[in-house]
Structure 1
Amino acid sequence: MWHTPILLSLFAATLFGAKADDLNVERITAQRSLAAPDHLVDLGYALYKGYHDAGTDLNVWLGIRYAAPPRGALRWKAPQTPETDRSVQDASEYGSVCFQSYPAIAGAPPMPEGDEDCLFLNVYAPSGPRAKKLPVLMWIHGGGYGWGDGRTDMSAMINDNDNAFIGVSIQYRLGPYGFLSSSEVNAKGVPNAGLLDIAFALEWIEKHIHRFGGDNTRITVSGESAGAGAVLLLSLAPSLKSKFQSIAASPYLPGQHAYDGDVPTQKYYSFAAQAGCGSSGPVLDCLRAKDAAVLQLANFNVTTSGKVYRTWAFDPVTDGTFTTGLPSKMLSSSRTKLNGRAILVGTNANEGALFVPQDEISTLEDLKAWLALKYPFFSAQDVEKVLAMYPNTDAPDDPSAAKFATNGLTGAANTNMSQVATGHLQRANAIIGEATFICPSYWLSTAYTASSRPSFHYQYSVPFAAHLEDVYAYFGPNQPQQPPSFSRAFRNIWGNFVTRGDPSVAGEPGLDSWPRWKEGREAQMVNLNTTGGTAYTATTQFGVQVTQFEEPGVRNQFGVVGAWGWEGGRGERCEVWRELVGSVPT
């Protein structure tokens, strides 16, 4: 049994990269210098004074307000332009983070940190005479649309790419503040307010980034997990007029219901009842009048009481304007017009284990019960189809069975084998990983290729390669299994895509000629792994011990592999998952 306090401390420290940047605060404070006059930026509606970071040679502006505080009457409304304030505002500290909540974990405590006044962004811009008309990397944090913040220090990524582009990290409304939905919300406000925040921040970049030395025609929109899910939805949004390219790392695709469907409506009234506004009829005016602390407690109660392990209660919905259909179907439709010019897509080798209760599945009956909970709309035939894709004996799992990392090409596949599990438990890990993250990444890459737009694909495989671990490699701080040579190459992959639209890295074996993604059985991707090193034992985010490798002796191991046949036929499984979308609205 995993102890809740240990799990929550690991979760708060690492899940979705939301808090890893806190380790950089001391360095930032020590190395910043007083802002010179040229660090004063006039945005028209406000003036912000940033500072020069001598350690990174970057000019930095933190806590820039890009939208008005969405409080009171502006709750569940589209983001609005901030009111004009011509006084000089200090931009040396991060703005407040958005209200958030732990997901459905037994014993999770409330999270008091946060504020509704949280629509801020941060700019990291190279200095000097060459810092003009630079490309821009926009970063959207992950966190299941219910957790996380924009306090990601982008300095290491920019520095390892010779300060060749500008970084912008953003925040957006989370949980019920950003994704509450019902017919009443649609009539008196907007569903998907959090997605509209992201689009509004993109418009801000297009309008203002030239003031920081950026080129608004060369924007790369990037994100991880829910942030990458937002990238996917931005690519499909017909109302979006922006032109950009994208990086989607582990794109998260939860169930997406109609804005007035039974599931979001039930959550709407559960939230309203918890806030003391009733469980039927008109309640939105009451919710807008409630104190923020009341709403936050309601958010906590609804989210953490969920039946599905480590999920949040409020997700994007199909609203008919910004989101006009199920992403899985839109990505396969020849009628869909994509917004992005090109895309780089990646996933991790073991995406799913973090979202599966590791101490509750050991038999076929356990697995079927978990499937019924996770996918309540599945028919008996759907369940059998899924089990057939992830074959295993019917015998209970053997706790003493050998566990090891698979190589993706030969021998055992991670459909029932990994470092943390075998058998039925690993089937669950693989199911959630492919259905929620990996198959959406395949569909996204294929949609770009089908539209004759460049698409590049990778898998991050450095053991254990759980969900989130890649974020440390490209933004830092590096983890022991991520030596500087690996992180530098990974950052160069992203940086070359940002600056040239091609992730190939000259002089790096396995990366010097990156193939474009192809449809079907000819699809190829680059596998990013390491070999050698000194073994050590690490504890995963969900409390299980695994073997990883650190210096000395770690070497990069990059190479092009077939994506269709990877891990025992992933391409075919993803096609079956696409067929199941009628039962899993994604």
Structure 2
Amino acid sequence: MKALLLQTLFAVTLYSSLGNAHQILVSVSESPIVDLGYAKYQGFFNQTSNVTTFLGVRYAEAPTGDLRWRSPITPKKADDIQSALVQPPECFQGNLGQNPEAPIPVNRLQSRATTPSEDCLFLNVYTPGHLNSPSSLLPVVVWIHGGGYTVGSASGFDGNDLIREAGRGAVVVIIQYRLGLLGFLSSAEVKANGSPNAGLLDQQFALQWVQSHIHRFGGDKSHVVLWGESAGAGSIVQHIVANGGRTNPPLFKAGITVQIPVYLHNLFPALTEKQIADATALYAPLGTQFTQAQLIMTEVVFWCPTYSLLKGFSGKPTFKGHFAIPPALHGNDVAYYFPTTSGPPPFNNSAFDAAFSEAFLDFAMFFDPNIKFRPVITPRWRPWTANDQVEMLFNRTTEGEPDIRQIPISQGVLERCDFWESISANIPQ
């Protein structure tokens, strides 16, 4: 049966604070055993919390030796009953700090409570009640930890919290995955001899494990919801778009991404909590968390600086254009300037070329992009002024004709760019 990988995506904007990681220390009154085929695991039932817990369940073979930088594989068969009473070793952690490519605010990381190891592909399972209690299968929540793809572990999160907040109506799985250079090393050698993005493949393998085994813990494999923040939220986006948005069988039903206070803090570590809250409020009405994240990056890095530049040349002839030929991605316009080296542009139309790329050369030669324009092609490109904030739209119609016209600049964009300019001291570029 085919199904969309994503059927529901909840966008959640929250502030997150992670408590200190800790071992779960309780008296083991009962020790349920689950047979996974490749191994039997003995967990514990806590009569006080009325929760059954399995800590450190191996979902993949140790990614060491020949398996380093390779896709995860099924664990080797273990004859002895495996203890699932203590937290698993965490994956090797990357450096902490404010690296501009992947800033990780130290105060947002959980403290380390376990010994790091390359053998770290484990997960924790929390089930309300006792496994022997007759009941229907429950929805499953899979938590993917954040940490910039370089730090984090399952031991930093207590699944009992989610069970309590769910009114004891869900099974909780918390996974670990390879981090830093062991999980996301990019090189020609890795691509030729291993598996790029091994950390994401670990996550996917853990989700496949859930599909195969979660019913043994009282979970419903047809009702799996992913939840993550920061890099965990980014990972969920990757799983949403993986395989064209479809897997067979589907690995999860829905996803919750807690990303934008965290996304903003990681993107611009110098922002204050108030500035993060103000920015979140500006972008909250503009679609999903993924759409908001795209807009923030696009506007802060690409769009807003152009308005600052326009203001800087106030009183002099300045012109603003908006390239919108689908898919209108960063760099797609270059083919229209250099068709010889880049090949024919996707929209190979002489009228469009005269109005678009030739206009830039007109400006370079005559400081006016209107020299070669003809009324039949496009209206005159009006200069941008503080009282006439317009831009020339360069697009195409669905019938394949040029769509070139003057449009007012979105007031919402101007307001958001004014906001970013007001806090520019905290946004290094």
C-alpha distance in 2 between matches for 1:200 and 1:181: 20
Aligned residue identity for 1:247? G
Give the superposition deviation at 1:33: 2.1
Taking the TM superposition and a 5 Å limit, the aligned residue runs for 1:404-553 are none
Please point out which of 245, 258, 261 is paired with 1:250.
258
The whole-number CA distance in structure 1 between the counterparts of 2:190 and 2:51 is 42
| Cα separation, partners in 2 of 1:382 and 1:225, compared to 1, 3 Å | closer
CA change 1:211–1:190 in 2 (3 A) is: same
Q: Does 1:234 align with 2:239?
A: yes
Deviation at 1:156, TM superposition (A): 1.9
Shift of 1:348: 2.9
> Could you tell me whether the CA contact under 8 Å between 2:143 and 2:227 is conserved in 1?
yes
Report if aligned partners of 1:146, 1:174 keep a CA contact under 8 Å in 2: yes
Tell me by how many angstroms 1:170 deviates.
0.2
- From 155, 161, 166, the equivalent of 1:161 is 166
2:44 paired residue number: 51
Cα deviation digits, residues 528-550 of structure 1 (max 9, x gap): xxxxxxxxxxxxxxxxxxxxxxx
SS in 1 for 2:264: coil
Structure 1: 4+ residue segments shifted above 4 A:
15-18, 381-384, 388-391, 564-574
Cα displacement (A) at 1:90: 0.9
- How many residues align? The count is 267
**Which position in structure 2 is the counterpart of 1:134?**
138
Residues 122 and 176 in structure 2, CA contact (< 8 A), matched pair in contact too: yes
Counterpart CA distance in 1 for 2:92 and 2:231 is 16
- Residue 383 of structure 1, CA deviation: 5.8
Residues 236 and 257 of structure 2 are in contact (CA less than 8 Å); yes or no, is this contact kept in structure 1? no
Partner of 2:209: 204
Shift of 1:190: 0.6
The whole-number CA distance in structure 2 between the counterparts of 1:348 and 1:84 is: 43
Q: Kindly state the Cα deviation for residue 566 of structure 1 after the two structures are TM-superposed.
A: 8.6
Contact 1:67 1:119 in 2 (8 A): yes
Highest relative contact order (Cα 8 Å, sep 6+), 1 or 2?
A: 2
The CA deviation at 1:57 is 0.9
Match of 2:304 among 386, 406, 410: 386
Q: Which runs of 5+ in 1 are unaligned?
A: 1-14, 252-346, 360-377, 395-563, 575-586
Distance 1:118 1:59, change over 3 A: same
Q: CA RMSD in A?
A: 3.9
**Separation (CA, whole Å) in 1 of partners of 2:163 and 2:90:** 24
8 Å CA contact retained: 1:56, 1:159:
no
Q: Distance in 1 between matches of 2:411 and 2:217?
A: 45
The alpha carbon displacement at 1:130 in A equals 5.3
Q: Are 2:30 and 1:35 aligned?
A: yes
Q: Is the 8 A contact 2:211 2:251 kept in 1?
A: no
- The separation in 2 between residues aligned to 1:382 and 1:43, in whole angstroms, is 49
State the Cα distance separating 1:357 from its structure 2 match.
4.5
Paired residues of 1:78 and 1:196 also in contact (CA < 8 A)? yes
Matches within 5 A, 1:101-140: 101-105=94-98, 113-128=115-130, 129=133, 131-140=135-144
**Offset at residue 133 of structure 1 (A):** 1.1
Give the conservation status (yes or no) of the 8 Å contact 1:229–1:248. no
User: Which residue is equivalent to 1:72?
Assistant: 65
Provide Cα deviations, 1:221-245, integer angstroms capped at 9, x if missing partner: 1111101101000000017432423
The residue type paired with residue 123 of structure 2 is L
**Are residues 105 and 187 of structure 1, via their aligned partners in 2, closer, same or farther at CA, if it must alter by over 3 Å?**
same
Q: Which residue of 1 aligns with 2:147?
A: 143
Is 1:356 aligned with 2:358? no
Match of 1:531 in 2: none
Matches of 1:92 and 1:565 in 2, distance apart? 57
Is the Cα contact below 8 Å between 2:300 and 2:417 reproduced in 1?
Answer: no
The residue aligned with 1:545 is: none
Larger Rg computed on CA atoms: 2
Give the drift of 1:382. Answer: 9.0
Matching residue within 151, 174, 177 for 2:182: 177
Helix, strand or coil at the partner of 1:352? helix
**Structure 2 counterpart of 1:217:** 222
Letter in 2 for 1:83: K
Which secondary structure state, in structure 1, belongs to the residue aligned with residue 181 of structure 2? helix
The answer to whether the Cα contact below 8 Å between 2:208 and 2:251 also exists between their aligned partners in 1 is: no
Q: 2:418 and 2:270 mapped to 1: Cα distance?
A: 27
Q: State the SS of the aligned residue for 1:247.
A: strand
Distance 2:261 2:54 in 1: 32
| Alpha-carbon distance in structure 2 between the residues aligned to 1:21 and 1:146 | 18
- SS of 2:213's partner is helix
Q: Deviations over 1:52-105 (max 9, x none)?
A: 122321100000000011011110000011110021111010110000123344
**Aligned runs of 1:91-102 on 2, under 5 Å?**
91-102=84-95
Superposition deviation, residue 142 in structure 1: 0.2
Distance 1:353 1:213, change over 3 A: closer
Aligned partners of 1:225 and 1:250 also within 8 Å: yes
